[in-house]
A and B are shown apart, each in its own frame.
Chain A
Amino acid sequence: MFQLINTFLIGITSGSIYSLMAIALVLVWRSTRVVNFAQAGQALLSTYIGFEFIQRFHSFWIALVLSMIFGALISALVDLVFMRLLFSRNTQGPIAGVAPIIATLGLLGLIRAGIGMVLGSTDANIRPPVSNVGFTISGHTLAFSPLKLLIVSATLVLVLVLSLIFQRTNIGLALRASAYAPEIARLAGVRVDGIRTLGWALAGAAGAAAGMLQTPNGTGALSSDSLEFSLLLVFGFIAAVIGGLESLVGAVIGGLLLGLVLAFVLTYISGSLVFITAFVVLILVLLIRPSGLIGTKRGRRA
C-alpha cells in the first residue's frame, strides 16, 4: 500500500515537470507551428543563469523568478532574431515546412556547445531549497519529500497563473485568437507578430521553471551535455503530443499521465523499461486517438 502511494506521488512529481516542458512546447507550437527542440537548450541556459543567481543571492526563490525572466527574454530573442529571419527568408516550397524544425535542432546544438565552451569548467550544482528526505508517516518513510511537494505546488501555481492569463486577460484573448486564427486576429487589430513573440517568452519562462525544478530533484549537477535535459525534452515532447499539442490543459494531463505510467513501470517492472514505455505510451495514444487525448478538430481550448 505504501509503495503504491509512493509510486503515485513520485509519478505526480516528475509528471509536473514534464507538464511544464510540454506547456513550453505547446505555447510555441500554437503561436508559430514549430516544435521548438531548442527548448531544452534554452531551459539549460536559463537554469545555468538561475544557478549564478543562487550563488549571488543565496535564495532559490529569487533565482527561480530571475531564471524564468531570463528564460523568457532568451526565448523572445530566439523568435525575434532567429525564427523571424528564417520565416522571412523562406516562405514557400517543401523546405519551408521542415526548415524551422531542423533550425531549432541546430540551435539546440549551438546553445549546448556555447554553454560547454563558456561554462563547461564551472562546477554547477543546484542544491534542493528544502529537504529532499521523504515525509515519515507512522514509521514509514515516503519517497515524497518537502522538495517534491514544492515542485508539485510550484507547477500548480504556474499552471493556474498561466490559465488565468489566458482566460481572463486581454493579452490572453489576443494570444488565443492569434493561435486559432491569425488572419482574423490581425483584421481585429491584434499585432500578431508581437503576440507571437510573447508566446515564445511565456514558453521560455515555463521551460526555465522546468529546468530549475528538475535539477535539484535529480542529481543537482548541471553540464552542457546533461542527459537529464535531453530526457526532459523527450518526455516533455511526448507529453505535449499525448495532450494534443494544441492545448495547455492537454499538456498538463499528458505530463501527469506520462509521469505516472513511468513511475509505475519503474517501481513494479523494471527501470530499464522506462524509455521504451514512454514511446509505447506515445504510440498507443496516437493509435487510439491520433489527435491526442485533448486535441480534437474543433475542441481546442486554452
Chain B
Amino acid sequence: MTLIVSDLCVDHGAIRAVNGVSFRIEEGQLAAVIGANGAGKTTLLRSLSGLKHSTSGHATWHDYDLLHAKPEVLVRHGVSHVSEGKSVIPELSVEENLDLGALWRKNPGEARETRNAILETFPRLGERLSQLADTLSGGERQMLAIGRALMSKPQLLLLDEPSLGLAPLVIAQIFASIRQLTIQMGLTVVLVEQNAMSALEIADVGIVLNLGRVAVTNTAQQLIADPQVRAAYLGY
C-alpha cells in the first residue's frame, strides 16, 4: 500500500494554495510535511481527507481515490484525519469522544480492543474517561484527538500540527507516542508540522513545501543534515 499524490492542485478562491504537488509515501513510513506558514500544508492534508475539494491532480491510497470521497466514507477505507487545533468535542466526555471514532464499526468487541490498546498508550485518558473533554489540558486533548482517530482503525493517519500550542516537554511526549504508534499499529503517517525539527526527528522521510510546491523531498536524516533546509526551516 502506498500513498501516491500526483500533480495535486487545490484552490482557495482565487489563490492556488497547493500548486502541482507530487510525492509518494510507502506503507509503514512516517512522513513529515514541513514548511512555513501558508506553504499549503494544511490545505494539502484537508484535500487528502475529503474536507476540501481539489482542483486537479490525483491522490490514491492503495488504489483508492482520495480526492472524490467524503471524509465519512474515507474513514471507512482506513483514512483518519486529525484536524488542526486539537480536534476533540469539548462538550462530550473523553469516553464519548473516543467512541465517536468507532460508531461506524460493525463489531463492538473489536472496537473495545482498539480502545484498550489506545488507553495503554495514553493512560492519562483512561483516568479521565468520564470527564468532559473541555476539562483536559492541551496535551491531553491532543492525545484524545489522536486516540479518536485511532478508534477508526486507520491504515493511513493524517496529522495536522499536533504540536500547536503545546509546551516543549509535552510535544516531545506526543511525538514519541506518534512514533511508537506508527510502528506498533503498522500505520502510515503524514505529519504536517510547523515544528520542523521535532517532526523530522521522528520521521522516515520529509517533504518540504514552499508556496504550494514541493521544494525538497528526502529522507528525514538527510534533510536534517541539509544546510539549506537547516537555514530555512530548522532555524540554525
Contact = CB atoms under 8 A, between A and B. Distances in A.
Interface of A: 170, 173-174, 176-177, 180-181, 183-192, 298, 300-301
Contacts of A186: 51, 70-72
B89 A177 contact: yes
Contacts of A301: 91
Contacts of A177: 89, 92, 96, 100
Contact of A173 (B87, B103, B149, B151): B103
B75 A189 contact: yes
A190 B103 contact: yes
B99 A173 contact: yes
Given A176-B92, A181-B87, A188-B101, 7 more contacts: A174-B103, A177-B92, A180-B91, A186-B72, A188-B151, A189-B75, A189-B101
Interface of B: 49, 51, 70-72, 75-76, 80-83, 87-92, 96, 99-101, 103-104, 134, 148-149, 151-152
A184 B89 contact: yes
B134 A298 contact: yes
Given A173-B96, A174-B103, A187 B91 contact: no
A117 to B, nearest CB: 41
A185 B149 CA distance: 11
A181 B101 CA distance: 13
16 contacts: A173-B96, A173-B100, A181-B89, A184-B83, A184-B87, A184-B89, A184-B100, A186-B71, A187-B75, A187-B80, A188-B103, A189-B75, A189-B101, A189-B152, A190-B72, A298-B134
A173 B89 CA distance: 11
A174 B103 CA distance: 8
Given A173-B100, A173-B103, A298-B134, A188 B91 contact: no
A260 B151 CA distance: 47
A187 B86 CA distance: 13
B87 A298 contact: no
Nearest to B151: A188
Contacts of B89: 177, 180-181, 184-185
A191 B91 contact: no
A185 B92 CA distance: 12
A189 B103 contact: yes
Contacts of B99: 170, 173
Contacts of A174: 100, 103
A299 to B, nearest CB: 8
A188 B92 contact: no
Contacts of B51: 183, 186-187
A189 B101 CA distance: 7
A188 B148 contact: yes
A189 B87 contact: no
A134 B107 CA distance: 54
A187 B90 contact: no
B75 A188 contact: yes
Among B70, B83, B92, which residue has the most Cβ atoms of chain A within 10 A? Answer: B92
Contacts of B151: 188
A117 B101 CA distance: 49
A86 B181 CA distance: 44
A175 to B, nearest CB: 11
B96 A188 contact: no
B76 A298 contact: no
Contact of A187 (B76, B81, B96, B134): B81
Given A173-B99, A183-B51, A298-B134, A189 B92 contact: no
A235 to B, nearest CB: 28
Nearest to A170: B103
A160 B99 CA distance: 23
B71 to A, nearest CB: 5
Among A176, A184, A192, which residue has the most Cβ atoms of chain B within 10 A? Answer: A184
